[in-house]
Structure 1
Amino acid sequence: MKAVVVEKFGESVQVKDQPLPEPKDHEVQIHIAYSGVNPVDWKIQEGYFKERMPHEFPIILGWDAAGVVTQTGYGVHHFKKGDEVYAYCREPVIKKGTFAEYVSVNENFLALKPKNISFAEAASIPLAGLTAWQSLFDYAKLQKGQTVLIHAGAGGVGSFAIQLAKIKGAIVYTTASVNNHPYVKKLGADFALDYHQEDFVRAFKMKLPDGFDVVFDCVGGETFRKSFALVKKGGCLVSICNFNAESLGQQYGVRSGHVFVSPNGRQLREISALIESGQLKPPHIEEFTLAHAKQALEKIRTGHTQGKIVLKVT
């Protein structure tokens, strides 16, 4: 099969032939139609996680997949050949990814693809949608009527976070460049701030002197550190960018933590139900082909994409 591989950290990706991944016990083989591209993909390419996660070369990049079940291993009970599915496919060892024609993963990672969206739209959902879900609901325990600040609301994770927060009944503030304000408002943001033109700490302190119930950091760096000043007493800050979020929060007297999204087919099914009911929409997507994975990775590396980038695989 064709796959986008990295043979050494820091080197360019290549499209190469790789062995077909046969499904093991409790695994489902998927013929991938589309794969989602995420910031983690270029970070893996550069070796950012080499000390945190075991890896084996050659590494096939990609953790999002949407496609059709072609085989099932022993013990698979919930999926059959021909099912249209999507999944977040991260394994404990970084090796077999989804920038490929096929992938085999545990059936607990999968959900049936929502009937009312395309494979391209489905591929944009798993990692970003589950990240937003696990950050806002599992960690932050966001509740109806609470205030939440979502940094980078126009990005892949932010696009889902805004919508999920509104579905929960929260009051949503976000940061986004001014040209993305119409997009985040359409997603449901109650207020958008252009972080290029205003100091977000000063601006939000004027609007909410007591601070936010929840701050969701999808940016990291200085944005993450400054955001502690915006968390109200008893509130929390959750980051997907800073692994030291918990210890830093102790310094500021704020409950804070880092979320590294986990595969979860049950939560993906809940997301599917929201999509099929029309409450949740896939983000804006931009397509590249598998042969142009290098360009897709270069674009997402800029950190200024609207919504999600997906790769058309087959």
Structure 2
Amino acid sequence: MFADLVMVRIQAAALNPADLAFQGGHADPVMDSLFPVTPGWDLAGVVEQVGPAVTGLRPGDEVIGYVRGQAMHYGTYAEKIAAEPRQLVRKPRNVSWAQAAGLPVAGLTAYQAIVHSLEVTAGDLVLVHGAAGGVGHLAVQIALARGAQVIGTGSEASQAFIESLGATPVRYGDELVEQVRKIAPDGVDAVLDTAGRGSLATTQEVAALGVRVASITQSAAEYPGAVDVYLYLDSDDLTRLVELAEEGKLTVHIDRVYPLDQAAQAQQHLAGGHTRGKIVLENRKEA
């Protein structure tokens, strides 16, 4: 191991739609792959070894991390991984390994969209498309923690879940605009699209003057002035997510947990869509 790296024994690793996109070759233009490739960027685990140049971490520390290299090669669907210290922060003390593993990628994406791209503040009325998904359900909670009111779109089956998050649920479909207008007759102040599939097409009809619009699905071109959200590593943002979790303001909902050796089945579940929250792999020999 290099002097400036940390060896982490992985207790749990979350799946993300990007895993499927990379395996399908859709991201080849933006990132190289060095085969064999182990997928995964999210982890929760225990520091097992630190290089002599590492400070601030020691064996036995419980951590979470967004571990992504310059190329797809070594990932977190594994028992161990060597990570850079900057990619790791302490694990929230009050959550399970599975919930902790689901926090970094989806949480950072949601946080950076709500806080940095949309600049949501107290009193804002925010519309989140795909509010039951991995990023969406965290974005709802982060917006609420900042004092906003939230309307969340989703399927009929997800309405109760969205309401349990603290948002006002509305159903996808032809009546979506009418539903939002009833709740927000003066329009919404901010819109986050986590669903794609033309969701931003409704924005013009439900927007307040000066609406801020962002998308994590690279569909911002559907609405003039919208911005695409690109996830980036920021340890301060990741630490803030840990704090929100410990304050009871942010909960990662686990759709399903699979053992590490059933990663293929877990990806099939993810590819099927309609997940509620996060799908996670656990190293059950160590958990």
Quick check: TM above 0.5? Answer: yes
- Give the aligned partner of residue 159 of structure 1: 137
Query: Equivalents in 2 of 1:217, 1:110: separation in Å?
Result: 28
- Give the aligned partner of residue 71 of structure 1: 49
Residues 254 and 280, structure 2, Cα contact 8 Å, conserved in 1: no
Q: Which amino acid aligns with 1:105?
A: A
Q: Output the aligned Cα RMSD.
A: 1.7
Shift of residue 69 of structure 1?
Answer: 0.6
| Pick aligned residue for 1:182 from 160, 179, 187 | 160
1:83-142 Cα shifts (integer Å, max 9, x gaps): 110111122222211001111221111111111111111111111111110000011111
Aligned-residue identity in percent: 34
1:203 aligns to 2:179 (yes or no): yes
1:119 aligns to 2:119 (yes or no): no
- Extract unaligned runs of 5+ from structure 1: 1-21
Residues 64 and 100, structure 2, Cα contact 8 Å, conserved in 1: yes
Residues 90 and 262, structure 1, Cα contact 8 Å, conserved in 2: no
Shift of residue 150 of structure 1?
Answer: 0.6
1:271 aligns to 2:249 (yes or no): no
- Give the aligned partner of residue 309 of structure 1: 279
Residues 127 and 151, structure 2, Cα contact 8 Å, conserved in 1: yes
- Please give the residue correspondences for 1:75-224 in structure 2 after superposition, counting only pairs within 5 Å: 75-189=53-167, 191-196=168-173, 198-224=174-200
Secondary structure in structure 2 of the residue aligned to 1:93: coil
Aligned residues: 284
TM-score scaled by length of structure 1: 0.85
Query: Equivalents in 1 of 2:252, 2:37: separation in Å?
Result: 28
Shift of residue 228 of structure 1?
Answer: 4.6
In 2 relative to 1, CA 31–40 (structure 1 residues): closer, same or farther, beyond 3 Å? same
Q: Which amino acid aligns with 2:193?
A: D
- Give the aligned partner of residue 296 of structure 1: 266
- Give the aligned partner of residue 7 of structure 1: none
In 2 relative to 1, CA 25–220 (structure 1 residues): closer, same or farther, beyond 3 Å? farther
1:34-64 Cα shifts (integer Å, max 9, x gaps): 1001111111111111112222222110110
Query: Equivalents in 2 of 1:298, 1:192: separation in Å?
Result: 28
With 166-175 and 221-230 compared, the bigger mean Cα shift is at: 221-230
Shift of residue 172 of structure 1?
Answer: 0.2
Query: Equivalents in 1 of 2:6, 2:234: separation in Å?
Result: 15
Shift of residue 159 of structure 1?
Answer: 1.4
- Give the aligned partner of residue 17 of structure 2: 39
1:221-270 Cα shifts (integer Å, max 9, x gaps): 3123443543333221111111x62x554xx3xx3111121122222211
Q: Which amino acid aligns with 1:36?
A: A
With 198-207 and 52-61 compared, the bigger mean Cα shift is at: 198-207
Query: Equivalents in 2 of 1:237, 1:57: separation in Å?
Result: 38
TM-score scaled by length of structure 2: 0.93
Secondary structure in structure 1 of the residue aligned to 2:226: strand
Q: Which amino acid aligns with 1:100?
A: A
